[in-house]
């Protein structure tokens, strides 16, 4: 069943942690505001990435006193409280982030259970658009692209799945925003006519990658990436010979600062004459480290190919799990890697509760059945 809790007071920002939560400055839970486990799991995913949080807090966007608190300010306030040592043993209430998202994406308004992947993708989209529209200083690096929605293929209903290809280049920003630096990658899409071999290509910007989960008892992230980048025959009209089929290939022209993967466990199924969303409950092996070198487009990368191939190495930082049997019900939790004195341990954030996890807990067969979103950080 879905986790339910009494909505928090609007004036309350933190409450004492329970004795079972073992909250510390590195292990701080988030209160459930009423069916908001999907919000908490998503936020713990972002908060687990120290470089992204640091870049986010370095920005100084102009506040507008006439408008409600922005998504950026709500998220930055939560991030500061989350890592503040003086906060002591307390859990945080993310209602400001929830309220900001309710204003930006009305589909999230209210207390209905929602999809954590859809919330994560929507938060990234909304945060990027907000920062791109009004951000003064302290940006991270030169050269960036302002991004506008674009779909490569028709998408399922928005309430079910967020499209994974959502961006295309438009006029440049003076500097890279944290959303761009950490979550954007560029994919070279080539279409080659199967009749006359005429080819054309364009580039797409991705914020995350959604990987199909193969039906059956066992799959792996490696296999999912292989299927994602595998050549695919498409129905496309050729402007040279009027052919109707082309071979599509995808290659990485640039790699993300942090690799966000979504495992597509929820699939459309007919049940009792109605279309519903079932869940692929098979095990998906999640590697501790992951490399994207096999999918790089060396021609696009050019002389920096070796450097970029080395940069395309990642280690797992956090995992969002969906605990339940169907898309319409269940509970979301997040496992996060915590590094202390050169030693890596794992903590599970289950709303306000934070508990220590073993390596077997994180990478064992039971965890492989519920892994839903994976966040990898670069190995430096």
pLDDT tens digits, 180-206: 999 999 999 999 999 999 999 999 999
Q: What is the pLDDT of residue 275?
A: 76
Q: What is the pLDDT of residue 268?
A: 78
- pLDDT tier at 135, thresholds 50, 70, 90: low
Q: What is the pLDDT of residue 18?
A: 36
- Contact (Cβ atoms closer than 8 angstroms) between residue 30 and residue 349: yes
Higher pLDDT, 137 or 232: 232
Query: pTM for the whole thing?
Result: 0.81
Q: What is the pLDDT of residue 325?
A: 83
Report how far residue 37's alpha carbon sits from residue 31's, in angstroms, rounded to the nearest whole number: 9
Q: What is the pLDDT of residue 273?
A: 74
- pLDDT tier at 327, thresholds 50, 70, 90: confident
pLDDT tens digits, 102-122: 999 989 998 888 999 999 999
Contacts for 320 with CB less than 8 Å, ≥ 6 apart:
41, 42, 44, 45, 116, 120, 332, 333, 334, 371, 372, 373, 374
Q: In which residue are the tokens 């080659």 written?
A: 192
Q: Which stretches of the chain are DSSP H helices?
A: 37-47, 50-57, 71-83, 95-104, 116-133, 178-183, 221-229, 298-301, 305-311, 359-363, 365-368
Least confident residue range of 38-52, 89-103, 141-155, 290-304: 141-155
Asked if the model's pLDDT at residue 262 lies above 50, the reply is: yes
C-beta pairs of 354-357 under 8 Å, 24+ apart in sequence: 354/17, 354/21, 354/22, 354/23, 354/24, 354/27, 354/28, 354/29, 355/20, 355/21, 355/22, 356/22
- Contact (Cβ atoms closer than 8 angstroms) between residue 105 and residue 140: no
Task: Indicate the helix (H) or strand (E) that contains 291.
Answer: strand 289-291
Higher pLDDT, 157 or 287: 287
* Mean pLDDT confidence for 166-182: 60
Higher pLDDT, 154 or 78: 78
Report how far residue 9's alpha carbon sits from residue 11's, in angstroms, rounded to the nearest whole number: 5
Structural tokens at position 110 = 């209210």
Least confident residue range of 60-69, 136-145, 202-211, 260-269: 136-145
- pLDDT tier at 379, thresholds 50, 70, 90: very high
In order of their start, the domains of the chain are 14-378 (3.90.70.10)
Q: What is the pLDDT of residue 304?
A: 56
Q: What is the pLDDT of residue 303?
A: 54
- pLDDT tier at 163, thresholds 50, 70, 90: very low
Asked if the model's pLDDT at residue 160 lies above 70, the reply is: no
What value does the mean pLDDT of the chain take? 80
327-342 burial, b for 16+ CB within 10 Å, e for fewer?
A: beebbbbbbbbbeeee
């Amino acid at each position: 069943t879905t986790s339910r809790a009494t909505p928090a007071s609007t004036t309350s920002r933190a409450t004492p942690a329970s004795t079972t939560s073992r909250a510390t400055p590195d292990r701080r839970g988030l209160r459930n505001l009423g069916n908001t486990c999907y919000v908490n799991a998503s936020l713990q995913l972002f908060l687990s990435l120290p470089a992204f949080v640091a870049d986010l807090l370095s920005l100084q966007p102009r506040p507008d006193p006439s408008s409600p608190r922005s998504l950026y300010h709500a998220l930055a306030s939560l991030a500061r409280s989350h890592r503040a040592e003086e906060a002591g043993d307390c859990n945080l209430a993310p209602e400001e982030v929830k309220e900001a998202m309710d204003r930006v994406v009305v589909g999230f308004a209210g207390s209905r259970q929602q999809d954590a992947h859809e919330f994560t993708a929507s938060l990234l989209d909304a945060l990027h658009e907000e920062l791109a529209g009004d951000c003064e200083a302290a940006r991270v690096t030169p050269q960036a692209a302002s991004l506008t929605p674009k779909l490569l293929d028709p998408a399922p209903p928005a309430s079910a799945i967020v499209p994974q290809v959502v961006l295309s280049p438009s006029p440049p920003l003076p500097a890279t925003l944290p959303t761009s630096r950490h979550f954007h990658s560029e994919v070279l899409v080539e279409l080659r006519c199967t009749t006359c071999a005429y080819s054309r290509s364009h580039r797409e910007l991705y914020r995350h990658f959604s990987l199909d989960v193969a039906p059956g008892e066992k799959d792996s992230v490696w296999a999912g990436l292989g299927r994602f980048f595998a050549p695919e025959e498409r129905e496309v009209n050729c402007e040279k010979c009027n052919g109707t089929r082309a071979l599509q290939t995808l290659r990485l022209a640039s790699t993300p600062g942090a690799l966000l993967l979504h495992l597509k466990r929820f699939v459309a199924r007919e049940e009792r004459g109605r279309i519903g969303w079932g869940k692929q409950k098979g095990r998906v092996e999640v590697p501790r480290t992951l490399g994207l070198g096999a999918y790089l487009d060396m021609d696009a990368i050019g002389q920096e190919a070796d450097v970029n191939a080395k940069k395309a190495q990642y280690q797992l930082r956090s995992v969002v799990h969906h605990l339940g049997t169907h898309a319409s019900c269940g509970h979301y939790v997040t496992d996060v890697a915590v590094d202390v004195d050169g030693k890596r341990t794992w903590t599970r954030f289950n709303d306000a509760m934070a508990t220590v996890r073993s390596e077997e807990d994180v990478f064992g067969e039971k965890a492989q059945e519920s892994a839903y979103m994976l966040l990898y950080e670069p190995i430096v």
